[in-house]
């Protein structure tokens, strides 16, 4: 067992984690004064930081947003428990995603900046003149984000377990540090908005890079990369004496190629459909900043590749993944490995990096979800004449509800439920891709066709995920299922988006034949090329888009 598990709370590790938590908390409250405007009482300022973040700030913000605490525990855990098929797919998908966002995210930034859109659902409503379609996008984003926030708490729980909290103590004593951390997070997010995670992302990312560099040097110098691969290969090619099955796969077999490929591609397509990813992009100062970040963010993918290999390092080091509750938990592989091989003070730095890695994305996610509720449910459906101050106030309150809802989810429900809903979240959020991304290039798709395609895909994806099972999990056991009418397993979200596209194309053609009203497009071609809200784009720089206006 780790030192933490054997000897109770490790005071050195706890002291280091508390120190960095205090530092980022002070920074979170100070962020209200950072680049402070005359007032934070609008979604433009509170929810998007005034849209004034430059290349460096956006790079740290998006890095802190996309590479979460759960990433730091789940990816090595998958490599440790199941092998490269389940764990290493995260590396190619984070490589594929950046060319995609280089192409379409600058267009979304431009039209949103020009038209004052705060959420992707704002864009969908303006483009298709459909409150229902915008509501579908908004609800999908909120529901998909909630379990994502909950999983950040799972990352913090792994840190607390490694330090020594839990075991035979009361449930309240075990969870008290987690509750305190989220109360403080809620307080400085409420006061500072998006500026808080943008500022503390500097600390989080610098700690992560320091920890990964040291870990990689340690593995190369003390262990050797060849040795950790040999240890992993031995584990995943040796059958269990009881079940006579191997625990995972070191190299994907032929029958898993489609699963691996679609999981990587589908995850890449879905990543920037999450509202927190869009929020980070829309907070950028210019479309050039968005393009620069698409070019330099792959540096995080390199870091993620090294992080994944720590799962193999934990196999080599025979790291225990027995938690304080006496049960095995693969998500403890990386935290326990740091506690096992490094001095307590540096293990504390690593644990602090993981813990802070939960606070940054949790803050952005709650802000993004609250912006969706305020703009596309509260204002669109309940209070059309809401003032900017009222919008900001509602968004702040909803951000608190979202955070504490996620906290309650983790404290009172089984961890498997969070994993199940996160699995569904990826399937669901993928179904907004067609309405958003296709809408950036063409107005051909009919609003009702997109809504019905979304509904068909949501139903299929939910049922397909529900029907997956394993020896230990009855439902929602996997993100893979056979592609319709075949035996080939693929990522469920990819099957669902194919259904979405087919339904949307067929119904669009039908609706256009029978001349069902398509609504009035609020955008023009120039909007997709602008650098600022006031800029008028020269005609030669903004070629017209087919079907831009429909009424």
Query: Over the stretch 444-493, which tens digit does the pLDDT of each residue have?
Result: 999 999 999 999 999 999 999 999 887 777 888 888 899 998 989 999 99
pLDDT at 291 over 80: yes
* Structure-token pair, residue 331: 């998500």
At residue 480, the 3 state secondary structure works out as strand
Minimal CA–CA distance to 125: which of 528, 519, 389?
519
Residue carrying the six token digits 């079940």: 243
Over 70: is that where the pLDDT of 328 sits? yes
Mean pLDDT of 232-257: 83
- At residue 7, the pLDDT reads 54
CA distance 446 to 441: 14
Q: Which residue has the higher pLDDT, 332 or 417?
A: 332
**What value does the mean pLDDT of the chain take?**
86
Exposed, middle or buried: residue 359 (CB in 10 Å: 0-12, 13-18, 19+)?
buried
Taking Cα atoms as reference points, which of 14, 377, 393, 64 lies closest to residue 176? 14
pLDDT of amino acid 479: 86
pLDDT in tens, 354-389: 988 888 888 999 999 999 999 999 999 998 898 989
What is the pairing mode between strands 480-482 and 489-491? Answer: antiparallel
Local structure of 420: helix, strand or coil: helix
Answer with the residue of higher pLDDT: 14 or 548. Answer: 14
Residues 6+ apart with CB under 8 A from 353: 72, 204, 207, 208, 210, 211
Amino acid 511: pLDDT? 96
Compute CA 472 distance to the chain's CA centroid, rounded to the nearest angstrom: 26
- Indicate the pTM of the whole model: 0.89
Percent of the chain whose predicted confidence (pLDDT) is above 90: 49
Reported as a single tens digit per residue, the pLDDT across 181-226 is: 888 888 888 888 898 888 898 888 899 999 999 999 999 999 999 9
Segment 288-298 mean pLDDT: 92
- CA-to-CA distance for 329 and 352, rounded, in angstroms? 20
Measured at the CA of 211, the angle between CA 318 and CA 314, to 5 degrees, comes to 10
Helix (H) or strand (E) holding 297: none
SS (H, E, C) 19-53: HHHHHHHHHHHHHHHCCCCCCCCCHHHHCCHHHCE
State how far the Cα of 466 lies from the Cα of 477, in Å rounded to an integer: 8
The confidence score (pLDDT) of residue 413 equals 67
d(CA 272, CA 287): 16
**Which residues touch 124 (CB under 8 Å, ≥6 apart)?**
130, 133, 134, 137, 435, 436, 439
CA distance 325 to 166: 7
Question: CA of 496: how far to CAs of 360, 400, 412, 432, in Å?
Answer: 31, 32, 31, 11
Query: Mean pLDDT throughout 73-91?
Result: 84
Rounded-to-integer distance, Cα 101 and Cα 293, Å: 9
| Side-chain-side CA neighbours of residue 444 (13 Å) | 14
Residue 322 backbone dihedrals phi, psi, to 5 degrees: -80, 125
- Over residues 334-359, mean pLDDT: 92
Q: Which domains does the chain have, with CATH numbers?
A: 3-10+42-422 (1.20.1730.10)
**Predicted local confidence at residue 30, as pLDDT:** 85
Convert the pLDDT of each residue in 491-537 to its tens digit.
999 999 999 999 999 999 999 999 999 999 999 999 998 875 444 43
Q: Which two tokens stand for residue 401?
A: 């509800």
Residue 4 is predicted with a pLDDT of 42
167: confidence class by pLDDT, cuts 50, 70, 90: low
Report residue 425 as tokens. 């979240």
CB 246 within 8 A of CB 237: yes
Assign 334 a pLDDT band (cuts: 50, 70, 90). very high
Instruction: Answer whether residue 113 shows pLDDT above 60.
Output: yes
Residue 175 near residue 411 (C-beta atoms within 8 A): yes
pLDDT for position 546: 38
**In terms of Cα–Cα distance, which of 362, 368, 392, 307 is closest to 141?**
368
Residue 319 has pLDDT above 90, yes or no: yes
Q: Supply 507's token pair.
A: 């119904």
The stretch 290-305 carries a mean pLDDT of 90
CA-CA distance, 298 to 94, in Å (whole number)?
7
The answer to whether residues 218 and 306 touch, using CB atoms and an 8 Å cutoff, is no
């Amino acid at each position: 067992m780790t030192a933490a598990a054997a000897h109770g709370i490790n005071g050195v590790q706890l002291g280091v984690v508390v120190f960095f938590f205090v530092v980022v908390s002070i920074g979170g409250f100070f962020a209200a004064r950072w680049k402070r405007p005359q007032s934070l009482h609008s979604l433009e300022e509170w929810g998007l930081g005034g849209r004034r973040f430059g290349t460096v700030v956006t790079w740290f913000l998006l890095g802190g947003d996309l590479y979460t605490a759960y990433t730091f525990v789940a990816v090595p855990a998958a490599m440790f428990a199941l092998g490269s098929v389940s764990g290493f797919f995260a590396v190619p998908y984070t490589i594929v995603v950046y060319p995609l966002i280089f192409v379409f995210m600058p267009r979304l930034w431009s039209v949103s900046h020009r038209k004052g859109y705060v959420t992707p659902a704002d864009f969908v409503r303006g483009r298709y003149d459909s409150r229902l379609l915008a509501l579908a996008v908004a609800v999908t984003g909120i529901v998909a984000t909630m379990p994502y926030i909950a999983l950040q708490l799972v990352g913090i729980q792994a840190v607390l377990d490694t330090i020594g909290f839990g075991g035979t103590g009361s449930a309240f004593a075990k969870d008290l540090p987690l509750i305190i951390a989220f109360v403080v997070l809620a307080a400085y997010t409420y006061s500072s908005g998006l500026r808080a995670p943008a500022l503390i992302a500097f600390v989080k990312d610098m700690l992560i890079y320091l920890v990964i560099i040291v870990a990689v040097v340690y593995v190369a110098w003390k262990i050797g990369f060849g040795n950790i691969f040999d240890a992993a290969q031995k584990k995943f090619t040796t059958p269990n004496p009881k079940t006579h099955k191997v625990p995972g796969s070191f190299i994907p077999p032929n029958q898993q190629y489609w699963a691996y490929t679609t999981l990587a591609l589908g995850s890449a397509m879905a990543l920037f459909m999450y509202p927190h990813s869009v929020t980070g992009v829309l907070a950028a100062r210019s479309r050039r900043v968005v393009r620069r970040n698409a070019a330099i963010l792959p540096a995080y993918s390199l870091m993620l590749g090294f992080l994944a290999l720590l799962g193999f390092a934990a196999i080599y080091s025979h790291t225990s993944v027995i938690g304080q509750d006496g049960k095995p938990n693969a998500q403890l592989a990386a935290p326990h490995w740091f506690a096992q091989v490094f001095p307590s003070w540096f293990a504390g730095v690593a644990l602090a990096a993981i813990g802070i890695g939960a606070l940054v994305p949790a803050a952005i996610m709650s802000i993004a979800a609250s912006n969706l509720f305020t703009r596309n449910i509260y204002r669109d459906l309940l209070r059309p004449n809401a003032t900017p101050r009222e919008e900001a106030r509602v968004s702040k309150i909803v951000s608190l509800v979202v955070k504490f809802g996620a906290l309650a989810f983790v404290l009172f429900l089984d961890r498997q439920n969070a994993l199940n809903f996160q699995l569904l979240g990826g399937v669901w959020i993928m179904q907004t891709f067609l309405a958003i991304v296709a809408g950036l290039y063409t107005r051909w798709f009919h609003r009702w066709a997109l809504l019905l395609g979304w509904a068909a895909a949501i139903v299929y994806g939910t049922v397909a995920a529900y029907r997956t099972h394993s020896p230990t999990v009855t439902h929602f056991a996997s993100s893979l299922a056979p592609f319709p009418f075949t035996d080939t397993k693929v990522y469920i979200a990819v099957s669902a988006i194919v259904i979405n596209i087919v339904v949307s194309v067929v119904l669009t053609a039908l609706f256009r034949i029978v001349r069902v009203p398509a609504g009035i497009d609020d955008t023009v071609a120039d909007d997709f090329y602008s650098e600022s809200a006031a800029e008028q784009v020269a005609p030669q720089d903004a070629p017209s888009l087919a079907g831009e206006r429909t009424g």
